[in-house]
Structure 1
Amino acid sequence: MKLRYILLFFIIFLLPSFQIEANNQPPNIYVVQQNDSLPRIAEKYRISVEELKLTNGIQRDTVNAGQKLWVPFTYEVMHGETLAEIAAKYRSTPEIIKQVNHLTSNQLYPGQLLKIMPKQMVMNGQHILMTKEEFKDWLFNQQVTREVNLIQQHHTWKPSYRHFKGNNHFQLLNSMQQFHRQTMKWNNIAQNITIFPDGRVAVSRPLNDAPEGTIGPIANRNGIAIENLGDFDIGQDQMTKEQKEAIVYVTAALALKFDLVPSIDTITYHHWWHYKTKERVLDHGKSYEVKSCPGTNFFGGNSTKSAKKNLYPLVLEKMKEIRDSTQ
């Protein structure tokens, strides 16, 4: 395992930096320019500001230069193409294409012009709920204006699995947000990302906002905080396959986005930080000085040794898989 980890490290390290940008943008992507605004872009594409925000998971009323947005466009059907193929290629659905173009059947003909409207994201207030693949696509479109060099791993402890009903993602997010604001006196929900037992991924705190919380300002300043819903101490929740896969996938996507190689300096556990001084103590903290977060059974344990053995190799493999699939 050690040799495998070293080989994977050098494979990732020696490959060229992951390029999110493409030389030629597809027609359903608009790259935000300096002095752009949501109303100006919405007017350009003849949609409402609300439609533009829902389509792109925009949490505020501003956009950043360089950010990529999914937008509608006109497409000419090629010979043999189907609605399903076109929809999959341009982030739409056959139903949306049929509705927008007033089609009564799935039949298409070469040269036919279709307006392709991208599908909208699932949002509740500032919370965006996605599959892990949708998160990756959304993430790679973002323009994060602050430096990010640390991915934090946490578990919620409470709420735990017994609070998750399979369809109450937003209820739990809103409850956490309310607790963080009213009880903890933070300005927003503390974490940027929440990963649920069913593998769904929520972005709540905008990525341009550093997380808040007990891990302290040193780790938060340039960090992205992930709260994995559940109690992963030994004897408590047994992590589902779906959540485990999502944690690895999301961490890998973030590492690619911010050009990070998995290590104790780039992917950190809350357990490695002193509860009061906020200093990083790694495996040397006494039990009353550190939290067990992200859990004594999180990917086999919460030590640096466990992270190196059980989490980082999985993230490295997934980074290469994502990289290969997007080139």
Structure 2
Amino acid sequence: MRKHLVIVCSLLFIIRFTSIPAHATEYKPRNIYVVKQGDSLPRIAVQFGTSVNDLKGANGLQSNSVLVGQKLWVPITYEVVAGDTLRGIASAFHSSVHLIKAKNRLSTERLFIGQILKIPPKKMTMQGQHILMTREEFRDWLFHAQIKRKVTLIQQHHTWQPSYKQFNGSNHFQMLMGMENFHKRKMGWSNIAQNITTFPDGKIAVSRPFNIAPEGTIGPRANAIGIAIENVGNFDKGHDVMTEAQKETIVYISAALSIKFGLTPSIDSITYHHWWDLRTKERVLDRGPNYNVKTCPGTGFFGGNSTASAIHNFYPLVSRKMQEILASIH
């Protein structure tokens, strides 16, 4: 009986400490929960001692629905070991020093071995359905998501209006709400047309859920299999000059989306609105008559809006960025 008790205790010890890293700064995050069959957001919240609203805020969830295979940041407890710092723990567990100090009522950053900390994941910046992110936050959000519809086409658009003149550096949500209202009230669409919006400061917003196809004048054929990106600005020659931050973001998210959906950058996977006939809604590439095609995403978009410009100036940047992203996550 004593032998059996020792074995059980040993197993409990192994389970207890293999679920917590030996050293947070050397740790691949395990505060990620993978949604299983039968899970619901309330059930997961109870399991991890948190709330549905906190889970939604930490993971940029636009509804209470979750899909099997979806990854969620969740709160955990962590036992401090030698060499740990609050900053290292925060970095390892997708949290922040401020959040950890507040959650554990710490007055300093001093830690001691054996100390038990509650680690809450940091929250994303959201307003309604709109999620405002950095490039790295978007990468994590995208790679954690489960998309239930087939996506084989990344659409590039520019807003034309609003342009850089309307962006003041802090009115991201105001601009998004303006576009959403215009699309719904003036255009008669069900929601904001685009899934993604990029801004001059390099920030990214996800608005229309990815599991819902975009709307817009590019037409149903492109939308049915598409993810639509609206890049704030008027990128026709002689108008807005794209910032380096926005350039980097457009390349980065195009690369991340290509990885997510298994796409190789080409005219068949990353498309410009200019290549689609407004009347027939068919792809015409460079053959469309000027009165039936938009200049979108702009005659100055990465050197132009032609297929040659995309092939020589845009796709190579996306391909290189794909390699960088893959190297960073392996």
SS of aligned partner of 2:187: coil
Root-mean-square deviation (CA, aligned residues, Å) is 1.1
Amino acid at match of 2:98: E
Q: Note if 1:45 corresponds to 2:55.
A: no
1:179 to 174, 179, 182: 182
Q: How far, CA to CA, are the matches of 2:256 and 2:98 in structure 1? A: 30
1:271 to 246, 267, 274: 274
Q: Note if 1:92 corresponds to 2:89.
A: no
Runs of 4+ in 1 over 2 A off after TM superposition: 24-27
Q: How far, CA to CA, are the matches of 1:118 and 1:263 in structure 2? A: 37
* Equivalent position of 2:159 in the other structure: 156
Rg: which structure is higher? 2
* Equivalent position of 1:205 in the other structure: 208
Q: How far, CA to CA, are the matches of 1:282 and 1:223 in structure 2? A: 17
2:61 to 58, 63, 69: 58
Q: What does the per-residue CA deviation read over 1:175-195, in whole Å, with 9 as the maximum and x for residues that have no partner?
A: 100010011111000000000
Aligned residue pairs total: 304
- Structure 2's unaligned 5+ residue stretches are 1-26
Q: How far, CA to CA, are the matches of 2:100 and 2:314 in structure 1? A: 41
C-alpha contact 1:30 1:69 (8 A) present in aligned 2: yes
* Equivalent position of 1:282 in the other structure: 285
* Equivalent position of 2:12 in the other structure: none
Amino acid at match of 2:162: P
C-alpha contact 1:193 1:226 (8 A) present in aligned 2: yes
* Equivalent position of 1:224 in the other structure: 227
1:109 to 101, 107, 112: 112
Higher RCO (CA < 8 A, seq sep 6+): 1
1:246 to 246, 249, 254: 249
Q: How far, CA to CA, are the matches of 2:171 and 2:297 in structure 1? A: 22
* Equivalent position of 2:129 in the other structure: 126
C-alpha contact 2:138 2:204 (8 A) present in aligned 1: yes
CA deviation after TM superposition for structure 1 residue 110, in Å: 2.1
CA deviation after TM superposition for structure 1 residue 97, in Å: 0.5
SS of aligned partner of 2:271: strand
TM-score (norm 2): 0.91
C-alpha contact 1:216 1:278 (8 A) present in aligned 2: yes
* Equivalent position of 1:257 in the other structure: 260
Amino acid at match of 1:284: R
Percent identity between matched residues is 62
C-alpha contact 1:27 1:73 (8 A) present in aligned 2: no
C-alpha contact 2:148 2:211 (8 A) present in aligned 1: yes
- Structure 1's unaligned 5+ residue stretches are 1-23
Q: Note if 1:140 corresponds to 2:143.
A: yes
